[in-house]
């Protein structure tokens, strides 16, 4: 018996250039930890059809070594060339561990305390080879946030390298260079700076207006202008009233994505959102609104975990959201096509 028959049979299968472009913007998660998962099998079919261009793994998707390899083989089957992403920062944010034959990577704070940038680069190069051997080609890191031990999402877990922007940038360059040497592209995060937020954006949008300073841009500025600029920058669900007085978090804020990141910092690579299903957005708006606003703001790759409120028809619905938004004047088709071209160019470099 086929699970999710409507989705499996391909209702609203892409038939035109716009629908294909929307598929390239989707970075989607799935249920299960083996290749027998109906959710994984459906997503793999959607990848083969060009309805989804990128897949990301979370802790729920990690089983045994054989399970992970089997899933990656499933997503890579056929002629599609999907981006296959995972969080592999080190410390508590390392899904694949010694049990899978992976090098243990310390948290960023420990790396900066115990290693030189060149030593860190060697460590990250080995970690990159581990990922590449399995079939991953995107690492959702490094963290460029300023370290504050009281921050519940970053500092508490030692995920930041330190307080000095130059130090942060030097280790971030080592991260990007190391993983890049193994063919794994990176996504620097969380723009414009999550480190001094007093709350966790997994639960609610973190308002950084009272704590954020221009110094938190410096690690990004230095990394983006270096010879090891990352292929992607990830925006956070961070409210910054100085730049976005309407209260929209960075992930859906044109002044922050297009104005600050693209305009002032001159970044021309792929902008990827943090998970649009996180409480920071999902408590105040639905997926459709978040998806459309993120594209309109200037984002290129939109992450949707799709675990809570699982929707097997998500790729088809996304096409509908975009079509209706264009018809209503909420979104320009040119913006969608521009985003898709950036993602396609990244994939071409990778493959």
pTM of the model: 0.95
pLDDT of residue 5: 72
Is 300 considered catalytic here? no
Q: Are 232 and 186 in contact (CB under 8 A)?
A: yes
pLDDT of residue 166: 96
Task: Evaluate if residue 14 carries a pLDDT over 70.
Answer: no
Q: Is 13 among the domain residues?
A: no
Tokens of 114: 């115990």
Q: Is 225 among the domain residues?
A: yes
Alpha-helical (H) ranges within the chain are 5-8, 17-25, 38-48, 65-76, 108-114, 117-134, 165-181, 218-224, 254, 279-282, 287-297, 314-327, 333-350
Catalytic-labelled residue, pool 100, 148, 164, 202: 202
Average pLDDT over residues 141-163: 95
Tens of pLDDT, residues 173-216: 999 999 999 999 999 999 999 988 776 656 567 899 999 999 99
Kindly provide the b/e burial profile for residues 140-165, where b requires at least 16 CB atoms within 10 angstroms of the residue's own CB: bbbbbbbbbeebebbbebbbbbbeeb
Q: Are 35 and 10 in contact (CB under 8 A)?
A: no
Q: Is 19 among the domain residues?
A: no
Q: Is 322 among the domain residues?
A: yes
Q: Are 230 and 186 in contact (CB under 8 A)?
A: yes
43: left (phi over 0), alpha (psi -120 to 50) or beta: alpha
Distance between CA atoms of residues 229 and 266, nearest Å: 12
Count the residues in the chain: 351
pLDDT of residue 349: 87
CATH of the domain at 318: 3.20.20.300
Q: Is 15 among the domain residues?
A: no
Mean pLDDT over all residues of the chain? 94
Helices (H) and strands (E) in the chain, counts: 13, 12
Distance between CA atoms of residues 351 and 346, nearest Å: 9
| Domains identified in the chain, total number | 1
Distance between CA atoms of residues 52 and 4, nearest Å: 17
Tens of pLDDT, residues 214-264: 999 999 999 999 999 999 999 999 999 999 999 999 999 999 999 999 999
Q: Is 66 among the domain residues?
A: yes
Task: Evaluate if residue 71 carries a pLDDT over 50.
Answer: yes
Largest pairwise CA distance in the chain? 57
Q: How confident is the model at residue 328 (pLDDT cuts 50, 70, 90)?
A: very high
Is 228 considered catalytic here? no
Q: Is 10 among the domain residues?
A: no
- For 207, the enclosing helix (H) or strand (E) is strand 206-207
Range of the structural domain that residue 227 is part of: 26-350
Residues with Cβ within 8 Å of residue 98, at least 6 apart in sequence: 104
- Rg value, the chain, Cα: 19
pLDDT of residue 206: 85
Specify the 3-state DSSP secondary structure of 2. Answer: coil
Catalytic-labelled residue, pool 24, 67, 200, 274: 274
Average pLDDT over residues 119-138: 98
Of 37, 107, 18, 32, the closest CA to residue 331 belongs to 18
Q: Is 298 among the domain residues?
A: yes
Report the relative pairing of strands 88-90 and 93-94 from DSSP bridges.
antiparallel
């Amino acid at each position: 018996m086929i699970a999710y028959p409507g989705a499996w049979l391909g209702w609203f299968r892409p038939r035109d250039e716009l629908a294909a472009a929307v598929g390239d913007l989707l970075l989607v998660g799935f249920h299960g930890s083996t290749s027998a998962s109906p959710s994984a099998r459906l997503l793999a079919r959607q990848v083969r059809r060009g309805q989804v261009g990128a897949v990301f793994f979370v802790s729920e998707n990690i089983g045994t070594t054989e399970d992970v390899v089997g899933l990656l083989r499933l997503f890579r089957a056929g002629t599609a060339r999907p981006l296959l992403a995972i969080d592999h920062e080190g410390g508590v944010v390392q899904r694949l561990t010694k049990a899978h034959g992976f090098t243990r990577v310390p948290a960023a704070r420990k790396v900066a305390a115990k290693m030189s940038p060149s030593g860190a680069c060697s460590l990250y190069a080995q970690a990159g080879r581990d990922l590449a051997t399995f079939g991953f080609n995107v690492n959702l890191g490094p963290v460029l946030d300023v370290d504050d031990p009281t921050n519940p999402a970053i500092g508490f877990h030692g995920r930041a390298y330190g307080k000095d922007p130059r130090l942060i940038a030097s280790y971030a360059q080592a991260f990007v260079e190391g993983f890049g040497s193994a063919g794994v592209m990176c996504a620097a995060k969380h723009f414009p700076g999550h480190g001094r937020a007093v709350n966790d954006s997994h639960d609610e949008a973190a308002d950084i207006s009272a704590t954020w300073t221009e110094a938190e841009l410096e690690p990004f500025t230095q990394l983006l202008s270096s010879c090891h600029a990352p292929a992607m920058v990830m925006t956070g669900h961070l409210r910054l009233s100085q730049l976005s007085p309407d209260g929209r978090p960075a992930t859906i804020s044109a002044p922050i994505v297009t104005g600050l990141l693209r305009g002032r910092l001159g970044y021309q690579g792929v902008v990827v959102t943090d998970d649009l299903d996180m409480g920071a957005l999902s408590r105040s708006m639905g997926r459709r609104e978040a998806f459309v606003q993120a594209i309109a703001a200037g984002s290129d790759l939109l992450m949707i975990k799709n675990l809570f409120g699982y929707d097997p028809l998500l790729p088809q619905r996304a096409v509908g959201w975009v079509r209706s938004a264009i018809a209503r004047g909420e979104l320009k088709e040119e913006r969608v096509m521009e985003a898709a071209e950036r993602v396609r160019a990244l994939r071409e470099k990778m493959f």
